[in-house]
Amino acid sequence: MLTLKTVTRTFPNGKMAFRDLSFEAQPHEVIGILGTSGCGKSSLLRVIAGLDSEYQGSILIDQAPLQGIHERVGVIFQEPRLMPWLNVIDNVSFGLRGDSDTNRKKALEFLQLVGLEGFERHYPKELSGGMAQRVAIARSLVTSPDILLLDEPFSALDAFTKMQLQDLLLQVWKKCQSTMLLVTHDIDEALYLSDRLLILRGQPGELVEVIEVTESRPRSRGSERLARQKQEILQLLHLTAEKTGEVQDDTNIWERHPAARRELSFKGLS
Amino acid sequence: MTHSARFTGIILGGILPLVLLVIWQVLCSQGVFQPYLLPSPLAVLDSIVELAKDGSLWAHIGITMYRILLGFLLGVGLAILFGSVVGFYPLAQRLLDPTLQAFRSIPSLAWVPLFLLWMGITETSKITLIAVGVFFPTYLNLVSGIQGVDRKLIEVGKVYRFSNRQLIHRIILPASLPSFLVGLRGGLGVGWMFVVAAELLGASQGLGYLLVFGQNTTAPEIILASIVLFAILGKFTDALLAKVEWRALHWQDSLVHKR
């Protein structure tokens, strides 16, 4: 479906976003991409979306090299990015081509799917954040993309709306059968939604681990197995406190941040 | 806005002018101001009625409106042309914008002698002057509107593989509309300023001519009548544009558009 072979993205200023990423996404698979901030997760999505074309390595969609923006790829951004001058139904059908009557019907169908029937004539300013993101989901699905890229789609929402929309996403995913690539910094979200997790670490980001999430769906958010995997991920990302105590001792910090030590000794503090 | 809310708005906004008019009238009838310097409001009203009776009022208003309309359309047309080219094409901006900015810094009245020399005391020179005035605010706002379009919205269009034409038509133009309409209103305001200038400097008809006429015949009530008419017409045309703006921008999430 989607294949990446040693893809590296370098910014015009010479800095690397991520390095030598290779993986393959199967049809109808949900891949979560997890990493601390700055590890190039969003840059990765932009490259696959075709919005950034400056990269090395190769990206194949259905065995064909990616050229620009692929028509079978849909994107859901962190913000809804609705056109404020269009009402909900026109926003949903924004990317559709051809006969406007058919487009409207199709848009209506997807509005029902995301639970916004009756809001067709509302304008974005009248919607809550969660509703606006639902519209964005409908807009990206209405073109029936084979690959759906999601860039921290729920990170701006409150905890409850977030959970609702995660369930909604799974629901529409079952129906639409797209392959999904979900970038997130929320480990619970990644474990709840994904079949497979790619863990990125460092600057530039590198793939450190691929974790299979085998828990069957529907998953329980409180599942013990997921909790264990969460612990594993936290360790991979170096986010756990040392076992001996909550506070890490000083030497440890210096080992991890040689630059900080150098700076301190330069100031004569070390 | 509901009907009653608008009504309350008119009443609230009308209190201060009404009070000032009454004070003005009282002071005049008390003889505080000399009538040959500052006539009373009623005297000003009288002279307006007088002008209306012999029909010359409509001719003056008509010709002034005609000049401002043509000048406005010409200025806006040119602003759309240059503004969109400069807004869309970075190369055009680098080529044209510095020159246009330099022209902008010329006080527009400095053009008057040149226009008079080239075109004489004609309608053409007046309309050209007004168009120059209208052009700059409209142009500047259009350019900043186009360049200020949220890159994130354009990306949405790119994901749907819009052509450049589609991007302009479906995202950039609607997104820059608010700024453009602000420019139109600003341009209209400047247009009114320039119609006065144009008519002061050489006209045999028009509200600006009435100003000169009033000065030459030491008739302050005519000058004031002309000023009042300018105020009314200016407010009226601005309200017209404001209405267009409200209709076109009802989707905006700003304070005034909250229902």
Q: Average pLDDT, stretch A120-139? A: 94
Within a domain: A268: no
* Calpha distance B127→B156 (Å, rounded): 43
Task: Tell me the mean pLDDT in the region B91-111.
Answer: 90
- Position A186 pLDDT exceeds 60: yes
Nearest Cα neighbor of B134 from B85, B79, B84, B61 is B79
* Whole-angstrom distance, CA of residue B199 vs CA of residue B212: 9
Q: Rounded mean pLDDT of B151-165? A: 94
Name the closest residue on chain B to residue A82, using Cα atoms: B153
Lowest-pLDDT range of A80-89, A187-196, B1-10, B145-154 = B1-10
Q: Assess contact for B149 and B172: CB atoms under 8 A.
A: yes
ipTM of model: 0.83
To which residue do tokens 């009548």 refer?
B225
Which of A42, A67, A77, A81 is best to mutate for the B interface (most B CBs within 10 A)? A81
Kindly report the nearest CA distance between residue B253 and chain A, in angstroms. Answer: 5
- Give the residue-averaged pLDDT of A195-224: 90
Q: For residue B76, what are its two tokens?
A: 């806006």
B251/A contact by beta carbon, under 8 A: yes
- Report which of B202, B213, B206, B195 is spatially closest to residue B121, judged by C-alpha positions: B202
> How many domains does the structure of chain A reveal?
1
Please give the sequence-ordered ranges of beta strands (E in DSSP) within A140-178, or none if there are none. 147-151
For residue B40, give the nearest of B231, B225, B229 by alpha carbon. B225
Structure tokens at A231: 């612990």
In-domain check, residue A51: yes
3-state secondary structure of A9: strand
Distance CA(B18)–CA(B10), nearest Å, equals 12
Mean pLDDT score, B140-145: 94
Mean pLDDT over B7-20 rounds to: 90
Measured distance CA(B22)–CA(B43) in Å, rounded: 13
> Which pLDDT band, with edges at 50, 70 and 90, does A241 fall under?
low
* Residue A73 to residue A75: CA distance in whole angstroms: 7
Sign of CA dihedral A63, A68, A72, A76: positive
The yes-or-no verdict on residue A2 having pLDDT over 90 is yes
- β-sheet bridge partners, residue A183: A33, A151
Q: Give the CATH number of the domain where residue A150 resides.
A: 3.40.50.300
Give a yes or no: residue A82 inside a domain. Answer: yes
Chain B residues touching residue A72 (CB < 8 angstroms)? none
- Is residue A108 scored above 70 in pLDDT? yes
Q: Which two tokens stand for residue B214?
A: 């009033």
* Cβ separation A85–B156 shorter than 8 A: no
Q: Determine whether the interchain pair A85/B161 forms a contact, defined as Cβ–Cβ distance below 8 Å.
A: no
Inform me whether the C-beta atom of residue A143 falls under 8 Å from chain B C-beta atoms: yes
Average pLDDT score over chain B: 91
pLDDT at A261: 47
The answer to whether position A7 is within a domain reads: yes
pLDDT of residue A134: 95
Condensed to tens digits (0 to 9), the pLDDT of residues B185-226 reads: 999 999 999 999 999 888 889 999 999 999 999 899 999 999
Q: Give dist(CA A237, CA A117) in Å, integer.
A: 42
Taking each helix axis from N to C end, the angle separating B56-88 and B123-147, rounded to the nearest 10 degrees, works out to: 40
Residue type at A213? V
How many percent of chain A have pLDDT more than 70? 89
Q: What is the reported pLDDT for A247?
A: 45
pLDDT band for B253, please (50, 70, 90 cuts).
Answer: confident
Which uninterrupted H or E stretch holds A74?
Answer: strand A73-76
Q: What is the pLDDT of residue B256?
A: 57
Helices (H), B54-171: 56-88, 90-104, 112-119, 123-147, 151-159, 164-167
- Looking at the complex, does the CB of residue A23 fall below 8 Å from at least one CB of chain B? no
pLDDT, position A137: 94
The per-residue pLDDT for B179 is 94
pLDDT tens-place string over residues B49-100? 999 999 899 999 999 999 999 999 999 999 999 999 999 898 999 999 999 9
Q: How confident is the model at residue A259 (pLDDT cuts 50, 70, 90)?
A: low
A185 assigned to some structural domain: yes
User: How many CB atoms lie under 10 A from the CB of residue A22?
Assistant: 12
Sign of CA dihedral B198, B200, B206, B211: positive
User: Is A267 within the bounds of a domain?
Assistant: no
Q: Provide the shortest C-alpha distance from residue B146 to chain A (in Å).
A: 15
Chain B residues with CB under 8 Å of A135 CB are: none
Asked if pLDDT for residue A116 goes beyond 70, the answer is yes
Which residues in B lie closer than 8 A to residue A156 (C-beta atoms)? Answer: none
Q: Which CATH entry fits the domain spanning B40-257: 1.10.1330.10, 1.10.390.10, 1.10.3720.10, 3.40.30.10?
A: 1.10.3720.10
Exposure pattern of B80-91 as b/e (b: 16+ CB <10 Å)? eebbbebbbeee
Residue A28: domain span? 2-221
